[in-house]
Each structure stands twice: as structure tokens, then as C-alpha cells.
Amino acid sequence: MILQKKKTFNDFAAAKGLRSTRQRDVILDMFLSTHQHVSVEDLYLKVKASHPGIGYATVYRTLKLFAESGLAREILLHDGQTRYEHVLAGEHHDHLVCTGCSAIIEFEDATIEKLQEEIALRHGFQIRSHKMEIYGLCADCSAKGQA
């Protein structure tokens, strides 16, 4: 699966005539080894730990490339930092975001996806991607709120 993703990016890079560099390999490895929703800062620190030479700007640039290649997706939450999440082929997952503890729970619902397509059709709209976030309190936080 990781190999498949590397291939996705390499194909994209080849098609765009991008050069293959050590830095991009490292950042790709690191990105693939993370869990969901890495901020640029997060990834930069992770990268710097083992490769101190790699700069901030390169991480920014490279993550934008990942997004362009379809490997990653930018998510805007409300903390002013762009985060990147993995795009698993053909899979859309959406988020429950806890406003108490900032926990993010992922979910997926095929019916909602279907309905989205219907809505798009009704408006003559061609879907490229979508994003859904539900804000509220997670089970823990709403339990704490009661106590």
C-alpha cells in the first residue's frame, strides 16, 4: 500500500517532469508514516529529527505537491494551521471534530456520498472532492460537561 502510494507520487512527478530528490523521498516516507492530519509544522519537526538539513520551505512545497498529486488533501480546521491527510484511493472519510478536546474521529458513509452525487447532478455540478466536518462534543467531553 505504501509502495502503491509512492508509485502514485512518482508517476505524478514523472508526468510533470519533476526531478527526483533525496528531500522529497524523505518527506514522502515521513508523511506516509504519519497518522491522519499532520500540520506542516508537525511534519517539519519529524523530518528535521533525522534530517536536520531539510528546510521549512521544502516541507511546504513538497506537501503542496502531494496534494496536487492526489496523495494528500489539505484540511482547514479552525486553528489557523493547514493540515494534510492521506487520501486513500477511492475513499472519502469525513470528520467529527470535538470542540472540547480537539479530538478528530473519522467516519465514512456511503449513503451520504450517494446523496452528494445526486445533489451535484441536480445542479449540473461535477464533483472533484468534498469535505464534511461535524463539530460538537465527543463522548468524553460531554460526559465531563455533565459532571
Partner DNA sequence: GTTTGAATGAAAATGAATATCAAAAGCACA
Partner DNA sequence: TGTGCTTTTGATATTCATTTTCATTCAAAC
Residue ranges that bind DNA, judged by CB under 7 A: 17-24, 39-41, 53-58, 60-62, 64, 80-82
Q: How far is the CB of 57 from DNA (least distance, A)?
A: 4
Least separation in angstroms between CB 76 and DNA: 8
Kindly list the residues in this chain that would bind a copy of itself in the complex (CB under 8 A).
Answer: 74, 76, 78, 96, 98-99, 105, 107, 109, 111-112, 115-116, 119-120, 123-139, 142
Residue 22 binds which entry of DNA, a copy of itself, none, CB below 5-8 Å type-dependent? DNA
Q: Counting beta carbons within 10 angstroms of the beta carbon of residue 30, is it exposed (0 to 12), middle (13 to 18) or buried (19 or more)?
A: buried
H or E element that contains 106: strand 104-107
Select from DNA, a copy of itself, none the partner in contact with residue 112, using the beta carbon and a kind-dependent cut-off of 5 to 8 Å: a copy of itself
Closest CB 61 distance from DNA, rounded Å: 5
Strands 82-86 and 94-98: unpaired
Nearer to DNA, 34 or 82 (CB): 82
Residue 84's beta-bridge partner residues? Answer: 38, 74
Q: Which helix (H) or strand (E) holds 37?
A: none
Among DNA, a copy of itself, none, partner that 53 touches (CB below 5 to 8 angstroms by kind): DNA
DSSP, res 79 = S
Total residues belonging to the chain: 147
**Least spacing, CB of residue 2 vs DNA, in Å:** 20
Q: What's the closest the beta carbon of residue 3 comes to a copy of itself, in angstroms?
A: 28
Cell numbers that stand for 75 in this block: 484540511
How far apart CA 84 and CA 12 sit, in angstroms, is 18
CB atoms within 10 A of CB 32: 17
20 interface partner picked from a copy of itself, DNA, none, CB below 5 to 8 A per type: DNA
